[in-house]
């Protein structure tokens, strides 16, 4: 059922909708909604641990990965306060804003390092320099693939950096979109946790994207047992919702759905890339369920005109100008978007 007529292509949700198996699992457990979901939570932790070949005490479940991000910032702030050290968060700019937002609310300074101007890659050298020049604890929040660019960091450079960092440098790798990555060079930070590359590495993942469970609010962090124990101290107690837990479990078991979900996004990406090529609009190589593309015009005006056509597209991402972030929805949704985009070209707006 269509709840509203707007085509929402702005939050990187998965408009394929949740798996039927997830829906059924929620319905099947409504009758036990009066009980605490301890068993289902334990089962989910066990499943995530086995899929990722880590121990159960290497998983921290979040109420969305946003909660995992918050606990990392809080845990390190607490560590800094207890040891009389300064603490800063270092982020690429632009990137997903939650680490910054939580840090600012907690009074933690945030240093933003612009993406490389030529290709919008993460500027690893300058990110590192900010921490090298700082006397205290630094947390790097690195979204890989990055949001809004949908591109990945250089794997070898990132891995070497994580492996060789001093003990007061921490890495929060946000891999919300990792399931979409096709680049053979990509290696997940989860592999580095398995290899025990660094005790200062935390990787976060979400059920909001490929699994289409954004409304169910489930994410998780993977790190060493010791780091997970310190993160859990700042996690809301009993944070997992029964419906979310059973929906996530069902989806992880549903290989057919997971493949269809990925295929749908890949097909939509191809449709969009073809039209962008045709219109000669530049785009970055998308490794996620969204694409960052040129519009040859003012982004605010473009967003407004799309909205007039009942399409919501991504917000502005200063300091980058002339690029819009588009969520890759279903093929039908992309067809609607493409028709509007082409009409914009005919009117000379893009
Ligand atoms: C990079 C990144 N991390 C985390 C999230 C939020 O995920 P969750 O729904 O698990 O809180 C998003 C949502 O768009 C995101 O883009």
DSSP string for residues in 13-37 = --TT---HHHHHHHHHTGGGTTS--
Which class for 202: exposed (0-12), middle (13-18), buried (19 or more C-beta within 10 A)?
Answer: buried
What is the pLDDT at residue 314? 84
- Residue where one domain finishes, among candidates 253, 287, 311: 253
Same domain for 308 and 181? no
What is the pLDDT at residue 1? 42
pLDDT higher than 90, residue 236: yes
Give the span between the Cα atoms of 258 and 263, in whole angstroms.
Answer: 9
Q: Are the CB atoms for 197 and 159 separated by under 8 Å?
A: yes
What is the pLDDT at residue 50? 98
Q: Which of 4-8, 53-57, 66-70, 170-174 has the lowest mean pLDDT?
A: 4-8
Average pLDDT rounded to a whole number, residues 84-89: 98
- Residue where one domain finishes, among candidates 253, 283, 300: 253
Residue 4 binned pLDDT confidence (cut-offs 50, 70, 90):
low
In a domain, 327, yes or no: yes
Ligand 1 closest atom vs CA 146 = 1
Task: Tell me the backbone φ, ψ of residue 181, rounded to 5 degrees.
Answer: -70, 135
Same domain for 180 and 276? no
In a domain, 149, yes or no: yes
Ligand 1 closest atom vs CA 207 = 10
Same domain for 311 and 243? no
Q: How far is the CA of 349 from the centre of ligand 1 (A)?
A: 31
∠ at Cα 9 (318, 5), nearest 5°?
130
Q: How far is the CA of 217 from the centre of ligand 1 (A)?
A: 10
Residue 305 binned pLDDT confidence (cut-offs 50, 70, 90):
very high
| Mutational test site, ligand 1, from 142, 206, 248, 314, max ligand atoms within 8 Å of CB | 206
Q: Are the CB atoms for 125 and 140 separated by under 8 Å?
A: no
Q: How far is the CA of 174 from the centre of ligand 1 (A)?
A: 8
Same domain for 212 and 266? no
pLDDT in tens, 15-30: 999 999 999 999 999 9
| Mutational test site, ligand 1, from 208, 210, 240, 289, max ligand atoms within 8 Å of CB | 208
How many structural domains does the chain have? 2
Q: Which of 73-87, 89-103, 306-320 has the lowest mean pLDDT?
A: 306-320
**Range(s) of the domain holding residue 185:** 20-253
Q: How far is the CA of 35 from the centre of ligand 1 (A)?
A: 28
Task: Give the closest residue to 153 by CA, choosing from 136, 174, 169.
Answer: 174
The domain that holds 262 is classified in CATH as 3.90.1150.10
Residue 261 vs residues 19, 69, 209, 289: alpha-carbon distances, Å: 9, 25, 9, 10
Q: How far is the CA of 84 from the centre of ligand 1 (A)?
A: 32
Ligand 1 site residues (CB inside 6 A) read 12, 64-66, 96, 143, 147, 174, 176, 206, 208, 214, 219
The domain that holds 118 is classified in CATH as 3.40.640.10
Q: What percent of the chain has pLDDT over 90?
A: 97
Strands 201-206 and 169-174, bridge-based pairing: parallel
Residue 315 binned pLDDT confidence (cut-offs 50, 70, 90):
confident
Residue 5 binned pLDDT confidence (cut-offs 50, 70, 90):
confident
In a domain, 50, yes or no: yes
In a domain, 2, yes or no: no
Same domain for 145 and 245? yes
pLDDT in tens, 237-270: 999 999 999 999 999 999 999 999 999 999 999 9
In a domain, 342, yes or no: yes
Residue 282 vs residues 86, 214, 246, 260, 311: alpha-carbon distances, Å: 42, 30, 41, 28, 21
- Residue where one domain finishes, among candidates 223, 238, 253: 253
| Mutational test site, ligand 1, from 8, 61, 67, 98, max ligand atoms within 8 Å of CB | 98
Same domain for 151 and 38? yes
Same domain for 269 and 237? no
| Mutational test site, ligand 1, from 176, 244, 247, max ligand atoms within 8 Å of CB | 176
What is the pLDDT at residue 275? 98
């Amino acid at each position: 059922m269509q709840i509203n007529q707007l085509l929402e292509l702005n939050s990187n949700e998965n408009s394929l909708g949740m798996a039927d198996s997830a829906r059924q699992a929620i319905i099947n457990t409504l009758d036990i909604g009066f009980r605490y979901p301890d068993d289902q939570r334990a089962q989910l932790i066990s499943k995530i641990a086995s899929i990722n070949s880590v121990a159960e005490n290497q998983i921290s479940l979040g109420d969305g990965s946003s909660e995992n991000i918050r606990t990392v910032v809080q845990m390190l702030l607490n560590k800094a306060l207890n040891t009389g050290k300064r603490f800063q968060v270092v982020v690429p700019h632009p990137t997903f804003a939650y680490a910054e937002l939580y840090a600012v609310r907690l009074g933690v300074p945030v240093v933003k390092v612009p993406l490389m101007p030529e290709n919008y890659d993460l500027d690893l050298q300058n990110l590192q320099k900010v921490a090298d020049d700082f006397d205290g604890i630094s947390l790097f929040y690195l979204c890989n693939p990055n949001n809004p660019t949908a591109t990945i960091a250089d794997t070898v450079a990132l891995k070497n950096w994580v492996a060789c960092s001093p003990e007061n440098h921490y890495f929060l790798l946000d891999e919300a979109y990792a399931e979409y990555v096709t680049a053979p060079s990509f290696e997940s930070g989860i592999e580095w946790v398995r290899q025990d590359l660094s005790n200062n590495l935390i990787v976060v993942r979400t059920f909001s994207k490929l699994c289409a469970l954004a409304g169910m609010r489930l994410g998780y962090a993977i790190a060493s047992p010791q780091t997970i124990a310190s993160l859990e101290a700042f996690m809301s107690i009993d944070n997992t919702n029964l419906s979310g837990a059973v929906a996530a479990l069902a989806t992880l078991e549903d290989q057919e759905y997971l493949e269809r979900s990925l295929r749908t996004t890949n097909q939509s990406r191809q449709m969009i890339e073809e039209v962008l090529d045709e219109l000669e609009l530049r785009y970055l190589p998308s490794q996620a369920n969204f694409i960052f593309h040129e519009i040859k015009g003012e982004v605010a005006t473009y967003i407004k005109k799309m909205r007039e056509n009942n399409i919501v597209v991504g917000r502005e991402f200063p300091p980058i100008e002339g690029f819009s972030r588009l969520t890759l929805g279903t093929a039908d949704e992309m067809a609607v978007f493409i028709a509007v985009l082409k009409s914009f070209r005919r009117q000379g707006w893009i």
